[in-house]
């Protein structure tokens, strides 16, 4: 099923292919807890940026593996390339358009202790 989403101002829009009921991950790392990011991790081929490529800005830190992409107009991070899945895309469930999903199952990841817990997250794939 195709789910649609966007940043706050609507300049960055995307579609993501995922089940009607999605599995989302809440993380308590410093980045996710400060931005309210809730993960829907998909293969890159299941993510389609529809508009806004020219206004996206990228931030990296620590290992520089994760590529945190933000709308340069409103500042919202609606998706990014995660350190845990560098060949995938993590979509912010909070940026999905209302009514595009039939339900959301949430699980938690202890990203504050990333190194000790990453295999737990990857084993869910």
What is the mean pLDDT, run by run of 10 residues, along the chain of 125 residues?
96 97 93 92 97 96 90 96 92 94 92 79 67
Does the pTM surpass 0.85? The reply is yes
Q: Which domain holds residue 40?
A: 2-122
Q: Which two tokens stand for residue 26?
A: 């809440």
pLDDT for the residue 57: 96
Total domain count, the chain: 1
Cα maximum dimension of the chain: 37
Give burial (CB, 10 Å; 0-12/13-18/19+) of 95: buried
Q: Can you give the CATH number for the domain in which 108 is found?
A: 2.170.150.70
Task: Give the CA angle between residues 71, 74, 43 to the nearest 5°.
Answer: 35
Q: Which two tokens stand for residue 118?
A: 């990453």
């Amino acid at each position: 099923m195709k789910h649609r989403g966007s940043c706050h101002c609507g300049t960055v829009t995307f579609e993501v292919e995922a089940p009607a009921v999605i599995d989302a991950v809440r993380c308590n790392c410093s980045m996710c807890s400060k931005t309210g990011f809730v993960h829907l991790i998909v293969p890159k081929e299941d993510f389609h940026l529809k508009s806004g490529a020219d206004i996206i800005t990228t931030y990296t830190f620590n290992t520089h593996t994760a590529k945190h992409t933000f709308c340069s107009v409103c500042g919202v991070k609606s998706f990014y390339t995660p350190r845990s899945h560098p060949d995938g895309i993590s979509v912010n469930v909070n940026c999905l358009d209302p009514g595009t999903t039939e339900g959301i199952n949430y699980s938690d990841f202890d990203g504050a202790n990333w190194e000790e817990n990453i295999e737990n997250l990857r084993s869910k794939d």
